Amino acid sequence: MKKIVAVLAAAAVAAGAMAAAPAATAAPARTPDFTPAPISWGECTSASLKNAGAECGFLVVPMDYAKPAGAKVQVAVSRIKHKAAQYQGIMLVNPGGPGGSGLGLSRLGQAVPNHAGDSYDWIGFDPRGVGSSKPAVTCDGNYFGYDRTPYVPKTPQIERAWLDKSQGYAKACAKNGAILDHIKTTDVAQDMDSLRKALGEKQINYYGFSYGTYLGQVYSTLFPGNVRRMVLDGNVDPRNVWYQANLDQDVAFDRNIKIYFGWLAKYDSVYHLGKTAAAVEKLWYDQQKKLDRTPAGGVIGGDEWTDVFLQAGYYVFGWEDMAKAFDGWVHRGDWQTLKALYDDSNPPGDDNGYAVYSAVQCSDVQWPTNWNRWRIDNWTTYSRAPFETWGNAWFNAPCANWPAKSGKPVHVDGSKVDGALLISEELDAATPYEGSLEVRKLFPKSSLISAPGGTTHAGSLSGVACVDDKVADYLATGNLPKRTPGNHSDAQCDPVPQPVPAGAAVGGQPKADAQPGAQIKQDALARLLHF
């Protein structure tokens, strides 16, 4: 703590005036009307989409909507048509990120109970810059290599190394050219409305997870009359985009990793990692320090160790896999399993998801450009939340030197939206619960379902009947849980259950197997764990 205080004091002297967050604006300037061409549908290349009976194509839109006759972007789109006699329109889906591929999410309708999804045409799409869309944004495919410099900048040399690395990434991103100025959330929202037009629909239905909730908030602010039904699961707090949102995450992830350590202690008879949460936590940090000195297999250092276990703060899905990796490393020196888990989220040579994440967040709003602001805020947060704070800081650090124009966030206003179903587990770390309460205020005709005690992020359609049946009822009939006065949820459900590992004494707790909806979402976000 003394070192932290000293660093803060030195930074405060050097800082001078800090960069202030820009004021929100109501909406981007009115752009010329654009009428897209109809989508030419054909066969999908993805086996999972083919097997689901999807068709695929490209939506051609302006790179810059202010210049509709100028350069174009091709947005990859998939569609699975409705199966029921009653047609309720198109359902656009976004998995989050930003940077998550949503092309496969046209399959999500099959996960809605009681065939309530069968009345919709489910539309998956890769937002501009992502995946199969053209051009696809990439900066440095090897940025997430192995045995990187330790996250925590305990020396000026470590801090300098990370500053150089993040500045280098931002510089590398400049090669993408004009699209970096036209990849904001507002641009994607306009693409969604172009998609509506191309499909000949007066309104859209929308299902957004994680960052996808913010995209839904922005779309429904800009085009409120074009929204029919909307489900927002894991709500971004629009007051905090994006710098403060990441600091809020750090505190929440630190809480959730302690919950995971408690789960490991509960099943010490299986994993032998400690009989108390405190003992498991000590062992985890001891291993992190050990790996900083000597990386496992020469590749998994302390940073990679942190990244492997970050998913435990997001979901209960995967808790057993991470526990087995922890157990295998500590007791048998198995580093290969750790590497496999790391590679799942950071596939070597592919930074598309991270590049788009950076491009959107860094240009949605002007981030602080004075590094002393970052230094003070992150050391302060680290003092009470050490697990992810500096990892998250360096993840976002390219925004301090981003090579594109930044905008101002939309002032979200859902007062003209007829209704929306909001969902949040109350210990969600990626999008803390306060965000859902704020969105509930901004959308006065919405209803919020919460899951007290739950740590899973954006967990609807994961097999919890209380939640999923309410989603199905809303999609089938438009009925929402009755809204009640006060600053709280309108309905409460059990969270996605924590798993019971094989070999443990069964205590009547259901196993948290990923249900079809959860697996489809995880496939979409396998390479990106942030919003």
Q: Is 462 a catalytic residue?
A: no
- The β-bridge partners of 61 are 73
- Measured CA to CA, the distance from residue 189 to residue 412 in angstroms comes to 13
Give yes or no for a contact between 122 and 106, defined as CB atoms under 8 angstroms apart. Answer: yes
- Measured CA to CA, the distance from residue 216 to residue 236 in angstroms comes to 10
| DSSP characters over 428-481 | -SSS-HHHHHHHHHHSTTEEEEEETT---SS-TTSS-HHHHHHHHHHHHH---P
What does the block give as tokens for 201?
């629909």
Give the sign of the dihedral formed by CA 93, CA 95, CA 98, CA 101.
negative
Give yes or no for a contact between 387 and 428, defined as CB atoms under 8 angstroms apart. Answer: no
Nearest in space to 302 (alpha carbons), one of 122, 151, 510: 151
- Measured CA to CA, the distance from residue 112 to residue 475 in angstroms comes to 9
- The β-bridge partners of 481 are none
* Catalytic residue (choose from 181, 457, 460, 468): 457
SS3 track for 274-339:
CCCHHHHHHHHHHHHHHHHHCCECCCECHHHHHHHHHHHHHCCCCHHHHHHHHHHHHHHCCCHHHH
- Measured CA to CA, the distance from residue 264 to residue 243 in angstroms comes to 32
Distances (CA, A) of 97 to 143, 360, 435: 18, 9, 16
Name 394's Cβ contacts closer than 8 Å, sequence gap at least 6: 151, 162, 165, 166
Give yes or no for a contact between 130 and 212, defined as CB atoms under 8 angstroms apart. Answer: no
Give the sign of the dihedral formed by CA 473, CA 457, CA 105, CA 135.
positive
Rg (CA), the chain: 23
Q: Is 272 a catalytic residue?
A: no
Give yes or no for a contact between 106 and 50, defined as CB atoms under 8 angstroms apart. Answer: no
Does an H or E element contain 40, and which?
none
Distances (CA, A) of 510 to 497, 500, 505: 6, 7, 12
Which residue has tokens 């909806």? 517
* Catalytic residue (choose from 78, 133, 194, 210): 210
* Catalytic residue (choose from 181, 303, 428, 490): 428
Q: Is 428 a catalytic residue?
A: yes
Distances (CA, A) of 458 to 233, 389, 446: 5, 21, 17
Give yes or no for a contact between 132 and 76, defined as CB atoms under 8 angstroms apart. Answer: yes
Does an H or E element contain 57, and which?
strand 55-62
Length reported for the chain: 531
Give the residue numbers marked as catalytic: 210, 428, 457
